[in-house]
């Protein structure tokens, strides 16, 4: 390779850093959505690089549904502490107090209250005019068309039909008061890129991504981890299964996969062999065709 | 994997020429389609009852579009082979979506233009090619699809190749490659097809793996737009940004714009330790030797190759809003890291994308392309888009709706495209010499009074040198004035003439290398009274550079010998 050619990971890194600096230069009050997952870990590393030797010039915001894995919460608190970053945790406490959970409400409604509503409330409360998210365009069909700077109206809603054209790396950051931009610095990364970068950069991730014996319930073709007193269907019996999480969400709605990939090289190797997309194990995407697009229109990330 | 390169390509095709099928095929062949996506695909295909697996559904993203059966926006797709990672900007070929095609083309290293073998080169194919040329995509792959429906006829393929090449020549497209393919059956996608024994080229995917990446990269002329200033404490001030062109190393001399200060790079610090060298498109942080005032929108450039600096320039616009636009309205122009108010001063003509004819126009409608003259409230530092994409690209934003209304590409300025501002009510007397009409003063008298002849010093780049020279000449007793072209480079020749007529030494500190302005200024000056000093002929230190210029003014006879000045003679 030409000595003055960037590898694809370094080219993606340069693009993401440019995006982050652009946001911090042009917006009054940015925030970074931090979901604790591998994409968030990469996004935070890129932010450290973008503003080195300074600290992150924005807080991290975690929307906590209270149904996250315990390992995630422990990781989150340690990670923010090590980083010296400001961490804001927001929960839709009213909905939790009223007993919101996916078994009672169904996954769509539960997500709407605990994630979408909670997120919109947190953004409004903080007066943030720009919010970074770790979504990638390769994750899901509706994301493939979303802009890097994705406009949201006063109600936090996305209109896929009237997106601003986005050319070169000239991002339009003009918003009125109350409107905002969701920014996706990892837009052009793939799942493989994220893993390869985590390995290259030795970035800490939640141990749930590594395989170990876990207590699981086999439900259809999903492996559901047993946490938060998940109600069992008749005939279901928990068993110890060598497994790991390929993407992280709430315990009820994140399926694991049977795997013995307990190191980073094994995970990457598994991914190369893999013929199934990562969100397959995310139950919310399968509610109905185009379900992610509907959620996004309402303000979901 | 971590050492592969990144190639961005755009695809353009008409509704029925199988573009989505081709992309689906590429993803499938490169194993970029997952099993569960295939399953979901089979499910969707049944809904639409279009027979077997429809690869096009992989790329038709949104609900509304699936219902209409066409893609209506730009979708990004990803796949990788062991050699490269690819980003596809999939853009619709539908007539009213020129804006999307331009969007997808803006970041592409290569474009795939699809042609239906049965239909040949249609107006749509020409439009795609024209937009690829307008957006400066360096490589074009012409995929002649549906060869299975013309019995893999070499004659058909040759005719299309001939027709397209002729058109490409007209619009200045270079680096064409042609592929006879069937996206449906996979011919000449991954392997050479047995059904086209006459085809001697490589399969399409192999071409994508080997086409040079970022052919237009420029390592010679430094352009570093300052994006953000990192100042965590009083001891550290770093200028952050993405290198647009040129190579930067610690110790390199750089000039700041608009101030024209010359300094050196002290360090290129990163999270992973200091860099020895930075090149495009790296996002870097620059620490300078001297404390100079620099903020977002300013630029660091090569002192020997400065960009154009002007408030007025010629450009091509692609109009992207369904509401018409045009002159006499204020827009915001975003270029590099600067956003400035601007106006479209004049629409020179609209380009009919089907016939390539220039058409008179008063306003611009959605998807129209026009040649315009832009005027900004503050000067921009730019290069022609054809020479440097990052330095010649801009967008226009409506300040009321905040929408992105147009994409712009700055053109090489010519006297025809950008007429100079006229200095009204100023009547110039002739040359500053004795034969000029009217004046009773001679140059000899001016010389006797001032100690020097009137002259014009044409100094490209190095604003700092211009002002130091002014100081030195003034201290020597000269009447001198610097004309800087921040506001309007086209006025400099006329202004220098006025100053010369008044007996002054006019130092034109000019960033624009436009030779026509230089010629005009030289034409106004009397023989031996015009001194052109290209920056590359000057020593790096400003003091030394000034000495060289003074020496040359003496050689020309503009100044008396320095020793005479020093003895106080002639003043």
Residue A173 belongs to a domain with what CATH number? 3.40.50.620
Say if residue A281's pLDDT is above 90.
Answer: no
Strands of the B238-242 sheet, one edge to the other = B223-225, B299-301, B253-257, B262-267, B283-288, B238-242, B228-230
A138 and A254 in a single domain? The answer is: no
Contacts of B399 in chain A (CB under 8 A): 174
Over the stretch A138-184, which tens digit does the pLDDT of each residue have? 887 778 888 999 999 988 888 877 789 999 999 999 999 989 999 99
Choose the weakest-confidence range: A48-57, A210-219, B199-208.
Answer: A210-219
Mean pLDDT score, B50-55: 53
Mean pLDDT score, B390-413: 95
Contacts of A25 in chain B (CB under 8 A): 227-228, 296, 337
Question: Cβ contact (<8 Å) for B5 and A7?
Answer: yes
Whole-number pLDDT of residue B435:
45
Residue B231 sits at the chain A interface (C-beta within 8 Å): yes
Residue A231 or residue A276, greater confidence: A231
The answer to whether residue A3 sits within a structural domain is no
Q: What distance in Å separates residue A171's CA from the closest CA in chain B?
A: 9
Task: Output DSSP code: residue A230.
Answer: P
Say if residue B70's pLDDT is above 90.
Answer: no
The answer to whether residue A14 sits within a structural domain is yes
Q: State the total domains in chain A.
A: 2
Kindly list the domain boundaries of chain B, sorted by start residue.
Answer: 5-210, 223-301, 308-410, 443-566
Residue B254 or residue B557, greater confidence: B254
Mean pLDDT score, B38-64: 52
Q: Which domain holds residue A178?
A: 8-194
Question: What CA–CA distance (Å, rounded) separates B188 from B206?
Answer: 10
Contacts of A52 in chain B (CB under 8 A): 230, 269-271, 285
Instruction: Give the residue from chain A lying closest to B99, CA to CA.
Output: A165
Say if residue B35's pLDDT is above 70.
Answer: no
Say if residue B96's pLDDT is above 70.
Answer: no
Confidence of residue B54 (pLDDT cuts 50, 70, 90): low
Count residue pairs from A and B with Cβ separation < 8 A.
180
Whole-number pLDDT of residue B17:
72
The answer to whether residue A182 sits within a structural domain is yes
Confidence of residue A55 (pLDDT cuts 50, 70, 90): very high
Question: Cβ contact (<8 Å) for A52 and B230?
Answer: yes
Confidence of residue B557 (pLDDT cuts 50, 70, 90): confident
Whole-number pLDDT of residue B36:
55
Is-contact A114 A92, C-beta < 8 A?
A: yes
Choose the weakest-confidence range: A1-10, B48-57, B77-86.
Answer: B48-57
Say if residue B266's pLDDT is above 50.
Answer: yes
Q: What distance in Å separates residue B133's CA from the closest CA in chain A?
A: 15
Q: What is the dihedral of CA A33, A35, A39, A45, to 10 degrees?
A: 60
Contacts of B245 in chain A (CB under 8 A): none
A172 and A31 in a single domain? The answer is: yes
Question: What CA–CA distance (Å, rounded) separates A257 from A191?
Answer: 16
Say if residue B2's pLDDT is above 60.
Answer: no
Strands (E), B289-397: 299-301, 308-319, 330-335, 338-351, 358-359, 369-382, 393-397
What's the distance, Cα to Cα, between the start and end of chain A in Å? 38
Residue B220 sits at the chain A interface (C-beta within 8 Å): no
Class of the CATH-defined domain B443-566:
alpha beta
Whole-number pLDDT of residue B570:
37
Confidence of residue B534 (pLDDT cuts 50, 70, 90): confident
A181 and A60 in a single domain? The answer is: yes
Over the stretch B159-178, which tens digit does the pLDDT of each residue have? 999 999 999 999 989 899 99
The answer to whether residue A295 sits within a structural domain is no
Confidence of residue B260 (pLDDT cuts 50, 70, 90): confident
Whole-number pLDDT of residue B111:
94
Mutate to test the interface with B, among A8, A135, A192 (most CBs of B within 10 A): A8
- Topology of domain B5-210 in CATH is Rossmann fold (3.40.50)
Mean pLDDT score, A285-291: 52
Give per-residue burial for B44-56: e unless 16+ CB within 10 Å, then b.
Answer: bbeeeeeeeebbb
Long-range contacts of B433-437 (CB under 8 A, 24+ apart): B433/B526, B436/B501
Confidence of residue B566 (pLDDT cuts 50, 70, 90): very low
Choose the weakest-confidence range: B36-40, B347-351, B472-476.
Answer: B36-40
Q: For B237, how many CA atoms within 13 A lie in the half-sphere containing its CB? A: 12
The answer to whether residue A293 sits within a structural domain is no
Whole-number pLDDT of residue A290:
55
Mutate to test the interface with A, among B227, B321, B380 (most CBs of A within 10 A): B227
A207 and A135 in a single domain? The answer is: no
User: Residue A162, SS3?
Assistant: helix
Question: Cβ contact (<8 Å) for A164 and B5?
Answer: no
Mean pLDDT score, B537-558: 84
Over the stretch A257-269, which tens digit does the pLDDT of each residue have? 899 999 998 998 8
Contacts of B237 in chain A (CB under 8 A): none
Phi, then psi, of A238 in degrees rounded to 5: -65, 145
Residue B37 sits at the chain A interface (C-beta within 8 Å): yes
Confidence of residue B430 (pLDDT cuts 50, 70, 90): very low
Instruction: Give the residue from chain B lying closest to A160, CA to CA.
Output: B62
Confidence of residue B400 (pLDDT cuts 50, 70, 90): very high
Say if residue B461's pLDDT is above 80.
Answer: no
Residue B503 or residue B512, greater confidence: B503
A144 and A41 in a single domain? The answer is: yes
A152 and A221 in a single domain? The answer is: no
Residue B564 or residue B406, greater confidence: B406
Say if residue A58's pLDDT is above 80.
Answer: yes
A185 and A210 in a single domain? The answer is: no
A179 and A237 in a single domain? The answer is: no
Whole-number pLDDT of residue B437:
55
Over the stretch A184-196, which tens digit does the pLDDT of each residue have? 999 999 988 999 9
Residue B106 sits at the chain A interface (C-beta within 8 Å): yes
Interface ipTM: 0.90
Class of the CATH-defined domain B308-410:
mainly beta
Is-contact A250 A68, C-beta < 8 A?
A: yes
Whole-number pLDDT of residue B212:
83
A142 and A183 in a single domain? The answer is: yes
Say if residue B564's pLDDT is above 50.
Answer: no
How much of chain B exceeds pLDDT 70, in percent?
A: 81
Question: What CA–CA distance (Å, rounded) separates B492 from B77?
Answer: 50
Question: Cβ contact (<8 Å) for B283 and A22?
Answer: no
Say if residue B106's pLDDT is above 90.
Answer: yes
Angle between helices B154-171 and B123-134 (to 10 degrees): 40
Contacts of A274 in chain B (CB under 8 A): 34
Phi, then psi, of B21 in degrees rounded to 5: -65, -40
Q: What average pLDDT does chain B have?
A: 83
Question: Cβ contact (<8 Å) for A167 and B219?
Answer: no
Contacts of A165 in chain B (CB under 8 A): 99-100, 102-103, 320, 404, 407
The answer to whether residue A301 sits within a structural domain is no
Q: Considering A172, A194, A216, which residue would you say is the last residue of a domain?
A: A194
The answer to whether residue A217 sits within a structural domain is yes
Mean pLDDT score, B22-40: 70
Q: Considering A138, A173, A194, which residue would you say is the last residue of a domain?
A: A194
A182 and A92 in a single domain? The answer is: yes
The answer to whether residue A45 sits within a structural domain is yes
Mean pLDDT score, B86-96: 77
A49 and A171 in a single domain? The answer is: yes
| Domain spanning B223-301, CATH architecture | Beta Barrel (2.40)
Whole-number pLDDT of residue B552:
87
Bridge partners (DSSP) of residue B46 are none
Residue B240 sits at the chain A interface (C-beta within 8 Å): yes
Over the stretch B146-161, which tens digit does the pLDDT of each residue have? 999 999 999 999 999 9
A156 and A228 in a single domain? The answer is: no
Does the fold of domain B443-566 match that of domain B5-210? yes
Q: Considering A173, A194, A215, which residue would you say is the last residue of a domain?
A: A194
């Amino acid at each position: 390779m030409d000595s003055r050619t960037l590898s694809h990971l370094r080219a993606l890194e340069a693009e993401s850093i440019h995006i982050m600096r652009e946001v911090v230069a042009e917006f009054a009050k940015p925030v970074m959505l931090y979901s604790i997952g591998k994409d968030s870990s990469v996004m935070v590393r890129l932010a450290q690089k973008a503003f080195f030797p300074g600290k992150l010039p924005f807080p991290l915001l975690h929307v906590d549904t209270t149904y996250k894995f315990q390992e995630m919460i422990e990781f989150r608190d340690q990670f923010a502490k090590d980083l010296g970053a400001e961490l804001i945790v927001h929960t839709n406490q009213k909905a939790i107090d009223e007993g919101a959970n996916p078994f009672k409400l169904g996954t769509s409604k539960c997500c709407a209250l605990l994630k979408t509503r909670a997120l919109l409330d947190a953004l409004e409360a903080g007066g943030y005019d720009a919010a970074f998210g770790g979504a990638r365009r390769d994750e899901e069909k509706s994301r493939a068309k979303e802009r890097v700077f994705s406009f949201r109206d006063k109600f936090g809603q996305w209109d896929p039909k009237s997106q601003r054209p986005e050319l070169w790396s000239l991002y339009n950051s003009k918003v009125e008061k109350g409107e905002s931009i969701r920014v996706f610095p990892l837009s052009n990364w793939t799942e493989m890129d994220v893993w390869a970068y985590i390995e290259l950069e030795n970035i800490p991730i939640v141990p749930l991504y590594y395989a170990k014996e876990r207590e699981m319930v086999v439900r259809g073709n999903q492996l559901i981890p047993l946490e938060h007193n998940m109600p069992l269907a008749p005939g279901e019996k928990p068993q110890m299964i060598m497994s790991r999480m390929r993407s992280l969400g709430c315990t009820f709605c994140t399926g694991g996969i049977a795997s013995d990939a307990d190191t980073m090289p094994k995970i990457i190797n598994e991914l190369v062999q893999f013929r199934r997309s990562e969100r397959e194990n995310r139950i919310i995407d399968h509610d109905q065709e185009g379900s992610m697009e509907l959620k996004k229109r309402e303000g979901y990330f | 994997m971590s050492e592969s390169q990144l190639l961005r390509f755009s695809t353009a095709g008409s509704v029925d020429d199988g573009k989505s099928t081709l992309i689906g095929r590429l993803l499938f062949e490169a194993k970029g389609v997952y099993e569960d996506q295939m399953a979901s695909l089979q499910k969707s295909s049944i809904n639409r009852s279009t027979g077997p697996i429809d690869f096009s559904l992989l790329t038709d993203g949104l609900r509304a579009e699936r219902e209409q059966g066409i893609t209506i926006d730009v979708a990004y797709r990803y796949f990788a082979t062991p050699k490269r990672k690819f980003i596809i900007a999939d853009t619709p070929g539908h007539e009213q979506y020129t804006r999307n095609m331009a969007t997808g083309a803006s970041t592409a290293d290569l474009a795939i233009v699809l042609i239906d073998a049965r239909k040949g080169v249609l107006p749509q194919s020409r439009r795609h090619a024209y937009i690829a040329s307008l957006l400066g995509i360096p490589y074009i792959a012409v995929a002649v699809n549906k060869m299975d429906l013309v019995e893999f006829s070499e004659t058909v393929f040759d005719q299309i190749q001939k027709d397209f090449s002729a058109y490409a020549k007209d619009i200045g497209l270079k680096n064409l490659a042609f592929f006879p393919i069937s996206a449906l059956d996979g011919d000449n996608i991954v392997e050479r097809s047995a059904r086209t024994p006459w085809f001697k080229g490589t399969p399409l995917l192999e071409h994508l793996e080997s086409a040079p990446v970022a052919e237009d990269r420029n390592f010679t002329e430094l352009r570093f737009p300052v994006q953000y200033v990192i100042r965590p404490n009083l001891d550290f001030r770093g200028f952050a940004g993405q290198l647009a062109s040129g190579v930067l190393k610690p110790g390199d001399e750089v000039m700041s714009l608009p101030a024209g200060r010359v300094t050196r790079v002290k360090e290129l610090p990163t999270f992973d330790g200091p860099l020895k060298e930075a090149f495009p498109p790296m996002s870097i942080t620059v620490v300078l030797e001297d404390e100079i005032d620099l903020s977002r929108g300013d630029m660091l450039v090569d002192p020997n190759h400065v960009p154009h600096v002007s408030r007025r320039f010629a450009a091509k616009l692609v109009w992207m809003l369904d509401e018409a636009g045009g002159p006499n309205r204020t827009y915001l122009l975003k270029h590099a890291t600067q956003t400035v108010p601007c106006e479209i001063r004049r629409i020179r003509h609209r380009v009919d994308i089907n016939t390539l004819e220039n058409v008179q126009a008063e306003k611009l409608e959605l998807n129209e392309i026009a040649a315009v003259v832009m005027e900004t409230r503050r000067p921009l530092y730019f290069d022609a888009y054809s020479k440097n994409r990052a330095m010649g690209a801009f967008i226009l934003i409506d300040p009321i709706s905040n929408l992105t209304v147009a994409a712009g590409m700055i053109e090489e300025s010519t006297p025809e495209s950008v007429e100079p501002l006229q200095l009204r009510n100023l009547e110039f007397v002739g040359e500053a010499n004795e034969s000029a009409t009217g004046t009773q003063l001679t140059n000899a008298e001016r010389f006797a009074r001032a100690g020097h002849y009137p002259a014009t010093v044409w100094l490209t780049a190095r604003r700092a040198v211009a002002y130091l020279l002014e100081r030195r000449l003034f201290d020597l007793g000269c009447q001198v004035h610097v004309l800087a072209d921040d506001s309007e480079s086209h006025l400099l020749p006329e202004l220098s003439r006025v100053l010369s007529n008044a007996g002054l030494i006019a130092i034109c500190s000019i960033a624009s290398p436009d030779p026509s302005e230089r010629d005009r200024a030289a034409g106004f000056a009397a023989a031996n009274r015009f001194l052109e000093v290209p920056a590359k002929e000057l020593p790096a230190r400003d003091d030394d550079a000034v000495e060289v210029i003074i020496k040359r003014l003496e050689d020309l006879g503009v100044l008396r010998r320095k020793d005479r000045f020093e003895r106080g003679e002639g003043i």
